[in-house]
Each structure stands twice: as C-alpha cells, then as structure tokens.
Structure 1
Amino acid sequence: MCGIVGFSGKGNPNILKSMNDAIYHRGPDEEGFYQDEFMNLGSRRLSIIDIEKGKQPIHNESKDVWVVWNGEIYNFLTLRNELIEKGHSFYTDHSDSEVIVHLYEEYNLNFVNKINGMFAIAIWDKKNKKLVLVRDRMGQKPLFYTIINGNIIFASEIKAILKHPMVKKEPNFEALNHYFTFKNIPAPFTAFENIYSIFPGEMLIFDVNIKKLEHLKYWNIDFSKQNNDKFEEAIYKIRKLLEDSVKNRMVSDVPIGAYLSGGLDSSSVVAFMIRNSNKRVKTFSLGYTTFLEHKAHDIISARKVAKIFGTEHYEYFMSPDELIEDISKVLRSFDSPFSGAISTFFLTKLISKHVKVALSGDGADELFGSYLAPRLAQPLSYLENIYEKLKKGYKLSDKDLNNLRPFENNIEFLEKLYLYSKGSLEKWKYKILLFKDEEKRLLLNPKIFKFNKFNSYELLSKDVSNLKALDPLNKVLELEWKTLLPDQVLAFVDFLSMAHSVEVRSPFLDYRLVEYVASLPGSWKIKKGIIKYILKEALKGILPKEIINRKKEGFVLPVFWWIKRELKPFVMCHLNKSSLKKSVFNFEYINKLLSEYYNNKNNDFQLAAKIWNVVSFKIWWDLYFG
C-alpha cells in the first residue's frame, strides 16, 4: 500500500517532494522518486510485501518502463512464476510491484486484465513517451488528475495535486451542488475545478509528445449476464469464492487483523480468516461512551464472535467530543465535503497500533442488497402490478404481504413512493435522497450556485438510463455499485484508514465473486424481505444462527442521535447567523431547518441528516476556502 504522485514536463525536485510529502500518511515507511526530461514520479510506501527490496519506483531490465503504484496484487506469485517462464528477470525478492512492470512488457495495455487486486497504477513507458494511469475494477484505490498547459498532474489524493504551483484551488460549484443530494461528490467530479477522479475500471493513456489524453474502460460490472446455476450450486460457489478471496487477502509480510462489528459481513470474514490461519487473529470493534441500545448490541455481538473464534479482541470507545475534535481531520482526509459514514477513522486509530493490514466486510451490502433502496426495489415493483386492484378495494393476501416485505406493515409508505414515481426507478430513488434540487434553491446562495446549470435529478437519470440489469433489485444494485460504492463507501474506507497508515482489504470485492453474484437473480439476494438471503444461506455452518439472523446495524456513528443533544452546541456554533455571514448558505432557510428539528420532541432522522450534511460542508468550506 502506498501513495503516488507525478506530473509530466520539466522536472522540479522540490515540487515533486512537496506533492509526495502531502501524502506522507499513505506511506510513512519510505519515499522514492524518478525524474527524466519528460516525466516525474513519486511514491510514499507502506511496506507490506517484500519489505527489504520492494522499494518504488520500480523498473524493468532496460529501465525504460517505470512504475509507481498503490495497492495489492493478490495473485502476484502466480503471475510472477508465469512471467519468469516467459523469460522475464526479476531483481526483487518477491515484490508484487515488479510484476506490474513485466506484465506491461508482456501484454501491453491488456496487462490489467491479468491482475486480481486493488490498485491505482502509474506506468511511465519511456520508450513510447506514454503515461498509463489505471484504477482497479471496483474503485478501491483512488486516483485523481488534472491537465494544465498540456501537462498532466496526478496523485492518490487531491491535496498532493493542490501542492503543484500550476494548480489553482478553485471550487467546482456543480460538484458541490451534487454533494447536498448524494452526501458525497460523484465521479468524475471533485470539489475542485479541473481536477477529476478516474473512474473504477478505467485506464488513462497520456501521450507526452502530442499532449493527448485517451480514456479506456477496461472493465464494467455486468448484471445482464444471468447464469443457469441452481440455488444450491450458487450457495456452494459463493462460499468457496469468499473463502478463497479471504485466503488471498491474508498474504502479507506484516501482521494483519480484521474490523469486527459483530454483523454478518465482518463476522464471515473473521470466520474464514480463522479457517485459513495458524496464528491468532486480531479483531477490532468500535463502541461509544454514550449509551445507545442499538449501538450497544454491536459491541455485545462482536464480543460473542470474538469469543467463538478465539480472536485477540480489542475495543475502541469514542465520544461525541472526539467527533467534534477530529471532524476537521476527517474532512481533510477526503479533500471534499462528506456526510456519509466516517466510523473507519476512529476505529483505525486503535488498529494502527497493532497491525498495518486489516480485512473488512465492505462491499457485501452493495453486492447482496441491504440498504433502503435495494429493500424497496422488489416491493415497489410488486405494488405496481397490483395497484389498480388495490384502488378497487382488493384485500392483500398472505402471498401479497410476503412480496411486499419488509414493508408489509408500512404499505402507506410504499404507496406514497409509488404515487410519486409511478414505478420509475430514478424518481423513487431521487425521492429518498437528501436535498432535492428544488430545496437546494432555498438552501444555497443563487449568486454562487447557478441552478439553471446544475441538476442532480438529471445526473441520477443518466446513471439509471445506462443500467443493463434484468430485474428490479439487480437494477438498484447495479446503480449503487457504480455510484454509491466507489464514490462514498470505498472513499471512506480508503481515505479514513490511510489517514492512520492502515491498509484495508475487502474480500467481498474480489472481482470473481462480484461477477458471479452479479449474474444471480435479485430474488435470491433479498427474499421475502430477508436481506442478503443467499449469503446467509451460504454462511450456515460457518457462523452461528444468532449472527446470521441478527438485525442489520450499519457501521456508522450515531451522529443523528448525538445531534439532538450532545452535538447541539457544536451545530449551533457553526450554523448561527454570524458564522454563516460570508458563507454559501441562505441563513433563513437553515434557521428554519434548525427550528423545525429542535422544536420537535421526536428525532427526525431525515432532518438530522440534512443538518449534519450542512455542518460538514460548512467545516470543509472553512478549511479550504474560508
């Protein structure tokens, strides 16, 4: 695991060093540089594989192919042996980095299809004067770039790009407008003008001679290819693929551990780690100093799993005051406003004291279906089929109620969504997002945000129009796999763990498992309201029933509970009239939101989410443009 930086054009060691220093946290073990008259490469290294000889930048025998990269290649030993048989010579002992160089020599741009891993790669092909930038299939490793005066500047994090003197730090108001709807900046936008995120599964080729940038999509998740496996066959394959994925991610020259929430996903990863390790596994859980019953269950469940599997278990308890103290550090980790889950930042403080690598259950929710939108997909589709009968007084049968689960006791909610959307995915999905376009006109200063140009609904509609899945649930999963997963989930996994120099490996994101599960019917993923149904079936005999059947509780901070009481002074401090005097917000509308929320004895979580979204933006804006 590392961080990388680089730029084309005339070399400047001071600029390169400054960019590299900005991402010191991504690789505190060592730094490395390469410069010639056309290209400048830098790397910060977190030593995990071939600690002694795996230093970057790495090169081929003739030193006309150079590589800096961030990530892990899980099949590197197999690839290395194949390349040696083809006549390639290696100067490292067992580095996965050097495999990239020789793969590129052997297969040119097709090299990436040989790799099973997570990665952000920069290859300088000195002979052909081409820079190749590649991001992994799922988007686990970030990679950003900008083009200025015919030169390309790139880095693992935006903060490094901002260190280059040619780059102007200017806000991208179109991207920032979308943040208030999605809680994150959607790719390829970033919060800054002319700085872009490379898409997952995308390759960029920059020709230094003619100053031309080419985009190549080398991988896409495909939900349209459905296989004919029977249910029992699918259970067996999921179990075997998941276990093999965990086993591959345990290869390391340094100690490894695991995030453990006590839920299905992280517990399954720990279970397979135990089956494939001769050492005691270290596990880590997050708790809170304020008592919240649903969050207390996390710690209790995690302790049970740790006891069952005999792990070396550690716990970290955080308070609302710690969130207040660290929120600026969290937002600086993203270089963007963000109001999604940030629990990873706090638990990784503890993890970093014990291990450099930790496995997690990230990706399972998006792969098998767990969030609100996937839970709604099948019931809304079924309601559409029977709605005309319902209007005529039709009484729901037991079969109907089964097909409407888990909303069989909240038909009114389903009916409102259906009437709003008439079954249109982009309309009902938009309805459950945060700030809608019309509300943002009230929230934001129209002199800054050009509302006639910015439209989050249109962006969502465009994403939906490109879906290829064949059933309602798989359509939603495909949408979230291409948007929510890389732009929000994997963003917080990477940035907030690397802030503490810890590498996170996610077995559920192995492309073999992903491609297989994508080919299965949605009705196997959520069945009669039971989320992750086929995964739960696959884990029978691996995990205790109480863990498999435990109610879903996301790995998220209890911010929406704290806002009501513990965080109220903090919120009011940032959102008072004086504090917002020179901001991008309309104070009158924010004051209306605050009054509506705090004057209500009940906790309106939708309003709480909006308030936290605004607070997070305000803090970020002050950090970067205040």
Structure 2
Amino acid sequence: MIVLFFVWQKVVCGIAGIAAKLVNGAGNLGRVRRMISQITHRGPDDEGYFFDSGICLGHARLSIIDLDSGHQPIANEDKSILVVFNGEIFNYIELRSDLIRAGHHFSSLSDTEVIVHLYEDYGDDFVHYLNGQFSIALWDKNKQKLLLVRDRVGIVPLFYTHVDNNLIFASEIKAILPALHSSPSINIHALDQIMTFWSSVGQETIFEEIYEVEPGKMVVFQDGKIAHSQYWEWEFTDAHYDEADHDLAEQLEDLLDDAIRLRLRSDVPVGAYLSGGLDSSVLTSLAHRHKKDNLRTFSIGFDDKSFDESSYQKEMIKYLGSEHSHLSCSYQDISSNFLQSIWNIEAPILRTAPVPMGLLSGMVRKQGYKVVLTGEGADEVFGGYDIFKETKIRQFWAKNPDSSFRAVLLKRLYPYLNISQPQALVYLKNFFGAGLDDPNSPFFSHIPRWLTTAKTKAFFSEDINAQLSKSAIDSISERFSPAMSNMDAFQKAQFIESRMLMPGYLLSSQGDRMLMKNSVEGRFPFLDHRIIEFANGIHPTKKMKVINEKYLLKFAMRKRVPEKIINRFKQPYRAPDIPAFFREDGESDVTELLGTDYIKKYGFFDDKKVSRLIEKIRRGRATSYKDNMALVGILSTQAVNHLFVDKQVTGNQMLDINEGISYGC
C-alpha cells in the first residue's frame, strides 16, 4: 500500500526519513513526524509525508517556487520514484522543457519534480544535470534503494545514522535525535578537529555515529548496506592558462550574470546581503540589472566600530540607489542570542561571528523576504583570502628563512590591525614562521593558523587528552594529500579552504543555520559550479597578481563597482567575542556554563585552567586571538553538551533550550 498525504498548516525546507529493509514504513510515521517537528523553522509553510514498504519520508516546506502545487514528497507518474528535497534547482525551467520533449508528464511547476524524471532517464547520474544547492532523498521503490545526495560544495546540510538496520536521515542532527534510543555522545576526535580546523572533517560530526553527507557525494542505502560515491570534486586544470585578461574577464562577467539571473528565479521577492566588500557589491550591482523593481538590500554593523563596515555599505547603497535596511548589533545582542544560535548550529564554534548573521536573517524575514543573494564563495574561488597572500609571501620567505626583510612583508597584509609595535616583527616571525622548513607540505598554507587555533586544546582535561592518540593534522594527511599531489602552493591553499572551512563552517555554522533559523534561504551565485570550474582553469597569477587578491574579478567588475570598493583593503567579517560576554555592565548569564560545576560535570576541559582564563578576562588581560577562541570554543562546547546530551532529547521529547540553566535566553 502506498500512502501519500499532506498536512496543510502554518507549520527553507527540511527533510527527514527512515529506510528499513522489509519494514512497513507506516510503523515509522510517528517517529518521522517527531523528526520533522524539530525542524519546522526550515519549513514553516506546510508538511508532507509518504510511507510504503521499507520507507517513510517527511518534508517541511518553505514556499518559494510554485507556491500552490509544489508540495512534497513528489513522485513520478507511476509513484515508483519519490523525492523529498531541500534547496533549489536553478536550471529547472530548462530541464523541464527537455524532459517534456522526451515524453515526461509533470503534475506541478516546481523545481523538485525535475529530479524524479531525470532519475528515470539517467539513474544515479541525474545529479550531473543539476545546477543548484540541494540535499535530496530519493526512494526507488522497485529497487528498494534510497539515495541521499548533497550539492557539490556543501551549501545545504544532510545528516544520517545507521541504527538497528535503519538508515535515519534529516536536514539537521536535532531531527535525528527523536528517532534514537538514547542521547548522543560527543565525538572527541571531531572536537579535536574543530579545535584545530574550526570544523570537523569529512563525514564526522560532533556526535558519535551521526554522519554528514559530504559535499559532492551520494550515499546509497540498499539491502541494508551503505555505499558512498563522489560525483564531483574541486579540481584544477590549465584550461584557460593561455587566454588574455580581457577575454577571461568577459567570460567571467557572462557566467556571473547568468548565475545571478538563475538565482533571481522565485515566486517571492529576492533581496541581497550587502556587506560593503567587493563580493556583495559585485552581486548587488549585477542583480540590479535584472530586477524590474528596486533591489532590496540588507546589512549588519556593530556598535563596536572596530568591527563596523558601514561606511563602505553606504558607498554602495548610494551607487545603486537601493532600498536598504541596516541592523546594528551590540555586545548584549550577541550574548543573549548565543545559546539559541548553538542550538541551530549543532556544533562548537570558535568565534561569535555566526550570531549576528542570525540576527540579520531575522530582520530580513520580518521585512517580508524569504530569499537573499549572498557573496560567500568568491574568496575561495578567486583567491581572496589573506591566507593566500600569506602563502605567497611565506613561500618567498622559505627560500631565505633568515631574512628579516621577507618576514616584514607580512605586516603589509593587515593595515586594519595594530601590529606597529616593536614586538610585531617577533610575533610575525613566530606565527608565520611555523612550518617554514617544509614549503612542499600539502598543508603549508594553513599550518600557522591551525597551530594557533590548536592552542585552545591546552584547556582539554586529562581524560580528553588521553583519548586522543594522534594529532588532528596527522589524521587528515591520508585523506587530502593524494588529491593535492599535482597542485601548486596557491591551489593547495584554495583546495583546503574550499573542502574544509567553507562547507564545515562558513556555509554551515555561519551560513545555512543562521539563515534557516529564521526561514530564510540564502543563494550563492559565486558557487555556481560553472563559475568554479571556469576559475579552477585560470592560472593562479590571474587570481592574485603579486598580492592583489581577486585580480580577475576586480578587472572584470571595474566598471560595475565604485573604485573605492575595488581598491579597499580586504577586511574579513568579524564580531566581538570576549567583550560580548564580559561587559562593563556585567557578565552574560550564559557564562554560567563556564562555572566549575558545569566544567567538572561535562569533563571536556580542565576546570582550573578554565578558571584562570575567566580570571584573566575579568582583569582585562585576555585580548589575544587565542584567548578569544578559547573562551568561545569552551563555552560553545559546553552549550552543545548541555542542549543535546545532558538534556537527553530522545523519542518524543521536545527540546526546550531554556530548561536546566537558571537563566533565560
């Protein structure tokens, strides 16, 4: 028996389900309902469920395309193939036309339906035809096969676990927990990775035996067995090495323009984030050409002016003439929303930067917008980060390690930081000199950052240290080294950023989770796979000319963006850390989790070392990056354990994040 039904209620999208060999899916309907109830923030517009022998699927929908009939799960003509889907297929109009010509019949106008018909024609290879951001669960009834597929670069999340011969999956980990028999355990090795790389690596998550479908990968569950395959990888070629700058710039503008055109497809209004940097300025400028009405833009700033970029935002607003809304974020805004943000992120973090992004998406939603364009990905694709500049200078320095002049070049990279003191050169040599003796290492570019971040692990308890048999850096060598063997130093740095930090933190903790907490979808034109593949065929010197980052992008956009924006020093997005929790007007209540009782109870950190850090902060002496990362890392780890482990949210229990600590949030 096949049962397909929808619940019409005011309940972006979230998916969940359970596959079990030879089990009637109806028996899992109650569990899947509870799973979906944990992620209604991803889909507040309606719910849909399907169950049959071996499968039960659930979906929570945010209506963006085909508002009236695009409900899920969605099936092919004979109901033998069903899909629940989170994300967008931006080229669905073109795909739909091709499929209709091939004889397929459609029951809706939604982008989701092209997936089932593509699968009918191409099987597992259907994913190669998609231009989009997505997590897909596809059930093939005849083969009793479940496919879990994630987009190429990791914009949309998807998690799973294998318990009692059941494959349980969902858009967020919190939706998996009600289907488990007990509360999860913290994955100590993933914690070690987060405290080194800012994110866990590969399929690992902060919870033991709960896994992430990796970007560009497909997980197949059939006959009780799990198989993995990779359908796309971040690869570099020499396809465009011999082309002139003008020709490359023209191709790039055409690709960007088309990527933005596709991402403006929506049956609801589309706005744009405007940070004041090059990337968001390029997007808003090109998007402005496609909008019939005035482009709506949104930005965030800080009461603490050392983090604020409002002057550049105003420059671009004036240039575009856009209707704009600005949110100013205070220390208290960050601390009072921290715990809720960790509930959404579901992992420890080392900086508070995601929290203001969640506040920004809240403002967007309150003003009636469900979709925004955003500029993430440009730095990874076109070589914009300071770490790429550092790599070039450190490679130059490594040829003559005793040179003081070569080390001083690094001071030019950070005009917005106070490194003019006499001890600055000593600091630069100590920090950037790490790993200088091995310039051919695949991780040469990132060793200084990783070693500095890893100092947060000095706060680990003896018990945690005893469980860690080898360093996090050693643990990833086998995983990434072979793929990087034919890359130059610049490409290696790009690869690491694109395969680790971008999907693990920027697109997740700071991206999807902070957007979807307020039912807002972010769209990322720079991460259109056509743009990535084009850029990966460009010589590194066209991405960074000497130390002029994103050279080709600037060259292509020089007539589209004000000169002041083109020529400004790149300043990374940052937010206040320690000052948000330890303010002049008092300490945040959330710091109760740093108290000796909680530290000892959870056992991850040494209570005496944490107490000394807190005392250092209270005396105003904790100002280093290491101190800031340690404070946020410890606090967020404590929060993850409190929310997802200590509270033991299982079965039909619902998560109330205010329960169990003596403060509200």
Please, what TM-score do these two structures have when normalized by structure 2? 0.87
User: What is the rounded CA distance, in whole Å, between the counterparts of 1:304 and 1:434 in structure 2?
Assistant: 38
Cα–Cα, structure 1 residues 452 and 322, in superposed 2: closer, same or farther, change >3 Å? closer
2:254 paired residue number = 240
SS for the counterpart of 1:269 is: helix
Is it true that 1:553 corresponds to 2:571 in the alignment? yes
- CA RMSD in angstroms, aligned pairs only: 2.5
User: What is the rounded CA distance, in whole Å, between the counterparts of 2:454 and 2:313 in structure 1?
Assistant: 41
2:397 paired residue number = 383
Cα–Cα, structure 1 residues 469 and 507, in superposed 2: closer, same or farther, change >3 Å? farther
Is it true that 1:149 corresponds to 2:164 in the alignment? yes
Alignment of 1:245-284 (within 5 A): 245-284=259-298
User: What is the rounded CA distance, in whole Å, between the counterparts of 1:380 and 1:476 in structure 2?
Assistant: 12
2:520 paired residue number = 502
> Residue type matched to 1:20 in 2?
I
Summarize deviations over 1:213-244 as a string: whole Å, max 9, x none: 11110000102445332222222222221111
Question: Percent of aligned pairs with the same residue?
Answer: 33
8 Å contact 2:456–2:630 — kept in the other structure?
Answer: no
User: What is the rounded CA distance, in whole Å, between the counterparts of 1:555 and 1:222 in structure 2?
Assistant: 27
1:580 paired residue number = 599
2:60 maps to which of 37, 40, 44: 44
Summarize deviations over 1:291-326 as a string: whole Å, max 9, x none: 41441xx22221221222121111112222222221
8 Å contact 1:223–1:469 — kept in the other structure?
Answer: no
1:326 paired residue number = 337
1:109 maps to which of 106, 120, 124: 124
Alignment of 1:368-517 (within 5 A): 368-387=382-401, 390=403, 406=413, 415-416=429-430, 417-418=432-433, 420-422=435-437, 423=439, 424-426=441-443, 429-433=446-450, 440=457, 442-465=458-481, 466-468=483-485, 470-491=487-508, 492-517=510-535
1:172 maps to which of 175, 187, 192: 187
SS for the counterpart of 2:294 is: coil
8 Å contact 1:103–1:111 — kept in the other structure?
Answer: yes
User: What is the rounded CA distance, in whole Å, between the counterparts of 2:529 and 2:305 in structure 1?
Assistant: 37
2:636 maps to which of 610, 616, 620: 616
Is it true that 1:531 corresponds to 2:549 in the alignment? yes
8 Å contact 1:382–1:403 — kept in the other structure?
Answer: no
8 Å contact 2:342–2:348 — kept in the other structure?
Answer: yes
Cα–Cα, structure 1 residues 267 and 561, in superposed 2: closer, same or farther, change >3 Å? farther
> Residue type matched to 1:501 in 2?
S
> Residue type matched to 1:619 in 2?
A
8 Å contact 2:198–2:501 — kept in the other structure?
Answer: no
2:650 paired residue number = none
Tell me the CA shift for residue 550 of structure 1: 2.0
1:306 paired residue number = 317
User: What is the rounded CA distance, in whole Å, between the counterparts of 2:529 and 2:634 in structure 1?
Assistant: 36
SS for the counterpart of 1:543 is: coil
Summarize deviations over 1:521-576 as a string: whole Å, max 9, x none: 22222223222222111110000001112222333322255456459723764434
Cα–Cα, structure 1 residues 158 and 544, in superposed 2: closer, same or farther, change >3 Å? same
Cα–Cα, structure 1 residues 403 and 603, in superposed 2: closer, same or farther, change >3 Å? closer
Cα–Cα, structure 1 residues 172 and 74, in superposed 2: closer, same or farther, change >3 Å? same
2:6 paired residue number = none
2:205 paired residue number = 190
SS for the counterpart of 2:393 is: helix
> Residue type matched to 1:370 in 2?
G
SS for the counterpart of 1:240 is: helix
Summarize deviations over 1:265-314 as a string: whole Å, max 9, x none: 111111011011111111111123x341441xx22221221222121111
Q: Which runs of 5+ in 1 are unaligned?
A: none
Summarize deviations over 1:13-43 as a string: whole Å, max 9, x none: 2111111111101111000011002100000
Summarize deviations over 1:463-483 as a string: whole Å, max 9, x none: 551315532212101111011
1:347 maps to which of 326, 347, 360: 360
> Residue type matched to 1:334 in 2?
I
8 Å contact 2:135–2:151 — kept in the other structure?
Answer: yes
1:222 maps to which of 235, 243, 248: 235
User: What is the rounded CA distance, in whole Å, between the counterparts of 2:467 and 2:346 in structure 1?
Assistant: 24
8 Å contact 1:283–1:313 — kept in the other structure?
Answer: yes
User: What is the rounded CA distance, in whole Å, between the counterparts of 1:513 and 1:448 in structure 2?
Assistant: 43
Cα–Cα, structure 1 residues 77 and 179, in superposed 2: closer, same or farther, change >3 Å? same
> Residue type matched to 2:225 in 1?
K
Cα–Cα, structure 1 residues 534 and 414, in superposed 2: closer, same or farther, change >3 Å? farther
Mean Cα deviation higher: 75-84 or 160-169: 160-169
> Residue type matched to 1:473 in 2?
F
Is it true that 1:543 corresponds to 2:571 in the alignment? no
SS for the counterpart of 2:639 is: helix
8 Å contact 2:272–2:372 — kept in the other structure?
Answer: yes
SS for the counterpart of 1:32 is: strand
8 Å contact 1:32–1:43 — kept in the other structure?
Answer: yes
SS for the counterpart of 1:500 is: coil
Mean Cα deviation higher: 323-332 or 409-418: 409-418
Q: Which runs of 5+ in 2 are unaligned?
A: 1-11, 647-665
Is it true that 1:130 corresponds to 2:145 in the alignment? yes
Tell me the CA shift for residue 608 of structure 1: 1.5
User: What is the rounded CA distance, in whole Å, between the counterparts of 2:497 and 2:486 in structure 1?
Assistant: 12
SS for the counterpart of 1:547 is: helix
User: What is the rounded CA distance, in whole Å, between the counterparts of 2:41 and 2:82 in structure 1?
Assistant: 23
User: What is the rounded CA distance, in whole Å, between the counterparts of 1:602 and 1:161 in structure 2?
Assistant: 39
User: What is the rounded CA distance, in whole Å, between the counterparts of 2:388 and 2:486 in structure 1?
Assistant: 13
> Residue type matched to 1:267 in 2?
S
1:60 paired residue number = 76
SS for the counterpart of 1:118 is: strand
User: What count of residue pairs does the alignment treat as equivalent?
Assistant: 612
SS for the counterpart of 1:262 is: coil
